[in-house]
Chain A
Amino acid sequence: MNILISSTSGEPIYAQIVTQIRQLILQGELGAGTPLPSIRQLAKELQISVITTKRAYEELEREGLINSIVGKGSFVSGADQEFIKEQRLRILELKLKEVIEESRQLGLSYGELTEMLKLIYEEEQE
């Protein structure tokens, strides 16, 4: 399992861990039931604090991607891909709602917002 932490990216370290483990799970590299390193083990490997790692695991647990069993450690959850995708879609919906709220405050119309979305989407793809 490769996890690479950048201390200069500005993204919080716990978020970097969440993103990377999530990706590994969704891409199927970590199958259901795969044990993850213990919180302290991972903290040691990455030379970061225990609490940061704990926070990342908690986040992953909330998303339903991993299960933690007291005394046994954390495992990739048995949830099927559909469930995980649904979960993530729900998160995405929430974020979109925030965007819509923000654009209303700024007085952007639906058309302007989709235009903006399209532009940024294309930019990111390059």
Chain B
Amino acid sequence: MSDCIRLEHVHKSYGTFALQDISLGIKEGYITGLIGPNGAGKTTLIQMIMGMVRPDRGDVQLFGGQNKEQVPAVKERIGYVSDENIYYEQLTVKQMKKVIAPFYSRWNEDTYVKYQELFRLSPGKKIRDLSKGMKIKFSLAIALSHSADLLIMDEPTSGLDPVFRRELLDLLTEHIQDEKKSILFSTHNTTDLDRIADYIVFVNDGRIVFDEMKEALAEKYLLVKGGKELLDRDTRRLFLGIRESAHGFEGLMGNRAEGERYFKDTAICETPTLEEIMYFSVKGSELRV
């Protein structure tokens, strides 16, 4: 199994914020979700992959080649969907398409027309007048029409209604029916896209917390709910993050087997959701600072 994106020891700092020593491989043929709270560095990471932001140190490789961007061939295989509008707002949908199409040798006008109809994009409408959801649909139509091998989407669902979010899942799973196509998306809302994700990369505060197969997370993490009397100096150390209330505590452990050994009989042990993993990890790391 090969990687379509490789980051090696990438650093980038902006004043107070820094991405630190990011090494990461995105698997070809699968869907990878990049999750993390706002400001964790997800967008910077994606923009670095897209060649918009230059790393201070380290290497970004796309499809096995160095992205020194003498290789437009690499970009041609990427479809980029951003949560902010990157198109010329004063142009109409049709004009914008006319601008974009000639840059891609694999552009397929029929496919574009198909998606334009499916998404109900009116060609005469100005980009400026499109709703956020429509803008996302437009960039998706563009990406799918030049048959990108790799879809890179930055917070694609943030402006979408639940109905289209579901439709998007269909479009994306359809896209990877071809085992050579891959998807990387970022989101801070872990309840929609992650159901189809094969791999999850979790970033927090400029660092990678984990990069795992989603299936493996359930075997690694454990959510423990119990009375506060269970918490003492030693047991606290076992947790990645704890939330205490008047009536007990909830805590996340990173070693499921160990956790079950300690708490199986005295507390409730559950498989955490991604959101819970995210919440407790962020909470825990804030405490340690």
Q: Report whether chain A binds chain B.
A: yes
Contacts of A95 in B (CB 8 A): none
Contact check: which of B170, B177, B271 meets A40 at CB < 8 Å? B177
CB distance from B50 to the nearest CB of A (A): 24
Nearest residue, chain B, Cβ from A49: B198
Q: Are A40 and B179 in contact (CB under 8 A)?
A: yes
Q: Looking at the complex, which of B127-135, B149-157, B211-219 is the stretch in contact with chain A?
A: B211-219
Say if the beta carbon of B174 comes within 8 Å of chain A: yes
Whether the pair A51, B215 counts as a contact (CB closer than 8 A) is yes
Confirm or deny: B142 has a beta carbon within 8 angstroms of a beta carbon on chain A: no
CA distance A43 to B183 in the complex (A): 15
Contact digits for A74-114, partner B, Cβ 8 Å, 1 yes 0 no = 00000000000000000000000000000000000000000
**Once A and B bind, how many residue pairs between them come within 8 Å at the CB atom?**
47
Chain A contact surface mostly: helix
**A43-B214 contact given A10-B271, A49-B31, A50-B30, CB 8 Å threshold:** no
Chain B residues bordering chain A, tally (CB within 8 A): 22
Most chain B beta-carbon neighbours within 10 Å: one of A10, A40, A50: A50
B-side contacts of A47, CB under 8 Å:
166, 169-170, 173, 195-196
- Asked if A41 is at the interface of the complex by the 8 Å CB criterion, the answer is yes
Size band of the interface chain A makes with B: 10 to 19
Is B197 on the interface with A (CB-CB < 8 A)?
yes
In the A-B complex, the 9 residue pairs with the smallest Cβ-Cβ separation, listed nearest first, are: A44-B173, A51-B198, A49-B198, A47-B169, A40-B177, A50-B198, A51-B215, A49-B196, A55-B215
A sample of 16 more A-B contacts (CB under 8 A), given A47-B166, A49-B196, A50-B30, is: A10-B271, A12-B218, A47-B169, A47-B173, A48-B195, A48-B196, A49-B195, A49-B197, A49-B214, A49-B215, A50-B29, A50-B31, A51-B30, A51-B198, A51-B199, A52-B198
Residues of B within 8 A of A (CB): 29-31, 166, 169-170, 173-174, 176-177, 179, 195-199, 213-215, 218, 270-271
